Structure 1
């Protein structure tokens, strides 16, 4: 029988949390290089959460957020979603493009840049996972949606609800001076991939 996120024991969850910590460290390093600024981070919060909790965790179902979605392929298959609120999106773009804008609306160039930031951050997480497990993983071209959190999260619920209702959440605060970006990574492995992942980590 395949293992789902909801079936993980405390040791397995601890290992996934450690991967989340290492991935977040790699992501903040990549972000610092990308924006040519010193970016710090709080210790990431890594949890197993239910789909129905996700919208609340990012500010409520009606909170406007940017959702960057990737399909994962290779030895492990599934999806990654990177969710940030619109103020954090603006802060990220300001860092990247040397701007000091306050308007949360992004133009086409800025939206493209936001996708690229998401791409690099997601790649950093997967690179960490690949290094630790020896498994090959690649991400698709990112898809970006800006909508209410409830609407954005309805997509993975429809796509993945049938294989379990839990996801791995890695919550990371990126800090530059007085500015802060709260990033939420959701890793949604396909059910059969969990067993492969846990075996490669030596906890099954």
Structure 2
């Protein structure tokens, strides 16, 4: 296997299950963090080409907040939590009680809060994988970036372009009060790590 689209339907179901468990864990943690009930739709797990992602996220010039974590150990790769302006404003409003007009001018406390939210979200999926597969994974300190979508995605694109032109994307839609917000998680395991995921779960991953 040398690209994500080589995996079969059975393996895709495994990814969906990881997405379901990770999303459940993430919502529980996030609800506790902001002390507010959150409901979530069924997560949408997609295998996409890099070049398709910016358009799906609102275009390459759309402002996003990206929280990046690197994995090492039994699995190697990256997790990136992409936060829309609307999502950040809603979460920071609940968490800090402040109204954010421009996410590009966040103070240190707000940046720290966003970074922690991204860390919680990504680690919820990472923990779901490691528990299901009995693997040991080390996670880096989260790194946050606020920029246009195209610029944020250039980091994983440059790193993974030599490995694959595809990535795994998990789309979550949240509901609380009268608001609906969407977030995306990009999962970029290196190819040998992707193979290890499916072998650990006893799946024949090749289509």
Q: Structure 1 length normalisation: TM-score?
A: 0.95
Q: Which residue of 2 aligns with 1:9?
A: 8
Deviation for aligned residue 1:111 = 0.8
Q: Which residue of 1 aligns with 2:70?
A: 71
Matched, 1:194 2:186: no
Provide the rounded CA distance (Å) in 1 between the counterparts of 2:68 and 2:182: 17
Provide the rounded CA distance (Å) in 2 between the counterparts of 1:135 and 1:82: 22
Q: Which residue of 2 aligns with 1:56?
A: 55
Provide the rounded CA distance (Å) in 2 between the counterparts of 1:97 and 1:191: 40
Structure 1 stretches of 5 or more lacking a match?
none
1:63-142 equivalences in 2 (<5 Å): 63-99=62-98, 101-105=99-103, 106-142=106-142
Q: Which residue of 2 aligns with 1:173?
A: 173
Deviations 1:22-76 (A, max 9, x none): 1111110110111111111011111111111111111111101111111011211
Contact persistence 1:89–1:104 (CA under 8 A): no
Provide the rounded CA distance (Å) in 2 between the counterparts of 1:11 and 1:116: 33
Q: Which residue of 1 aligns with 2:154?
A: 154
For the aligned residue pairs, the C-alpha RMSD in angstroms reads: 1.2
Deviation for aligned residue 1:132 = 0.9
Provide the rounded CA distance (Å) in 2 between the counterparts of 1:98 and 1:133: 39
Look up the SS of the partner of 2:45 in the other structure: strand
Deviations 1:94-129 (A, max 9, x none): 122233x14133222101110011111111111111
Deviation for aligned residue 1:177 = 1.1
Contact persistence 1:3–1:194 (CA under 8 A): no
1:35-50 equivalences in 2 (<5 Å): 35-50=34-49
Structure 2 stretches of 5 or more lacking a match?
none
* Large movers: runs of 4+ above 2 Å: none
Once the two structures are overlaid, the 10-residue window that deviates more, 11-20 or 102-111, is: 102-111
Look up the SS of the partner of 2:152 in the other structure: helix
Provide the rounded CA distance (Å) in 1 between the counterparts of 2:75 and 2:4: 14
Provide the rounded CA distance (Å) in 2 between the counterparts of 1:137 and 1:27: 18
Contact persistence 1:72–1:79 (CA under 8 A): yes
